[in-house]
């Protein structure tokens, strides 16, 4: 899909003016440090922004730069990550930090995607927010407002995604004008903010939308389909989360196997574990976490993190 300069200019102007007035003050905004952007984007991949806003400053205080994170043990990182969920992200983040601390930051999108845990979206986010590359960043929020504004069918994501990326790239390039890195970053934040607080999934605030005029979905937008997760209560995911939280809170991030069940009960998130504790599911959770390198057994003791020494960073 071709997007002309005439189409781009008014949309960009309206969105940027709205963002300047209405944006939320989130702790990861305003920085162009690639490490800080990487940390925030990995946290935001599968965790709501309000939860990340509480944990990101503490994580950055504990691991203020890429060398500090790369030099830490995975047990230390997992303990600090506890409560954010999807803990394999923390392991991938650590491995990405080791690569960057050793070899430096990649110089293009393809190379960024070679870092552990960095896919096409995260690479584009780092490129635009840290390096000022004028590339479109399409997360769930951006996808939603683009689909509605362009009048696309949300039920055919495979066909729509290519079009959405083309449009996002055209908007990011601003009709070919030369942009300062700060302008690129502001645009990326603005596009994500629009979908997060105005063009919401269930109750879009069309009256507050800066680009509502001419929008084919105005006043009648329904939810854009997304994949649904299964029930959390009693799930293997709930057991894994409780076990990781228990180990993160334990002295030296370790527990005797005999204490694991009681510690998990204490550290279960609200409604996560059923009243009838499933001992077999605990063992399955341990095996899965061992396979993923998130915990390891040391005799009759269970420890957070893989069975390995912290990475050594080349001087």
Residues identified as active-site:
41
Strands 295-298 and 254-256: unpaired
Let me know: does 241 contact 272? Beta carbons within 8 Å.
Answer: yes
The structure tokens listed for 260 are 């694991």
Q: CA–CA separation, 161 vs 180, rounded Å?
A: 27
Q: CA–CA separation, 241 vs 78, rounded Å?
A: 11
If phi > 0 it is left, if psi is from -120 to 50 it is alpha, else beta; for residue 97 that is: alpha
Q: CA–CA separation, 256 vs 104, rounded Å?
A: 40
φ, ψ of residue 227 in degrees (nearest 5):
-65, 135
Let me know: does 21 contact 214? Beta carbons within 8 Å.
Answer: no
Distances in whole angstroms, Cα of residue 138 to Cα of each of 168, 170, 189, 241:
7, 12, 11, 29
């Amino acid at each position: 899909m071709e997007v002309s300069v005439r189409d781009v200019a008014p949309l960009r102007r309206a969105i940027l003016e709205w963002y300047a007035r209405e944006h939320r003050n989130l702790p990861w905004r305003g920085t162009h440090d690639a490490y800080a952007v990487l940390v925030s984007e990995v946290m935001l991949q599968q965790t709501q922004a309000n939860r990340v806003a509480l944990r990101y400053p503490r994580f950055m205080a504990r691991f203020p730069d890429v060398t500090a994170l790369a030099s830490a043990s995975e047990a230390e990182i997992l303990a600090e990550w506890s409560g954010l969920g999807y803990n394999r992200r923390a392991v991938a983040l650590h491995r990405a930090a080791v690569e960057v601390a050793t070899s430096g930051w990649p110089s293009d999108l393809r190379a960024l995607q070679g870092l552990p845990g960095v896919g096409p979206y995260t690479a584009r986010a780092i490129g635009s927010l840290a390096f000022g590359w004028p590339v479109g960043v399409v997360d769930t929020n951006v996808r939603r407002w683009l689909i509605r504004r362009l009048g696309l069918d949300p039920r055919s994501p495979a066909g729509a995604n290519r079009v959405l990326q083309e449009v996002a790239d055209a908007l990011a390039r601003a009709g070919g004008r030369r942009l300062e890195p700060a302008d690129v970053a502001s645009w990326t934040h603005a596009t994500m903010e629009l979908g997060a607080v105005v063009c919401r999934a269930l109750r879009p605030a069309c009256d507050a939308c800066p680009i509502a005029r001419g929008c084919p979905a105005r006043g009648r937008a329904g939810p854009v389909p997304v994949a649904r997760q299964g029930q959390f209560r009693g799930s293997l995911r709930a057991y894994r989360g409780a076990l990781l939280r228990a180990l993160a809170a334990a002295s030296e991030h370790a527990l005797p196997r005999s204490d694991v069940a009681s510690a998990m009960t204490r550290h279960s998130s609200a409604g996560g574990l059923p009243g009838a504790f499933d001992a077999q599911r605990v063992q399955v959770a341990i095996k899965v976490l061992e396979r993923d390198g998130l915990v390891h057994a040391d005799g009759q003791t269970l420890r957070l993190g893989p069975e390995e020494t912290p990475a050594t960073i080349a001087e």
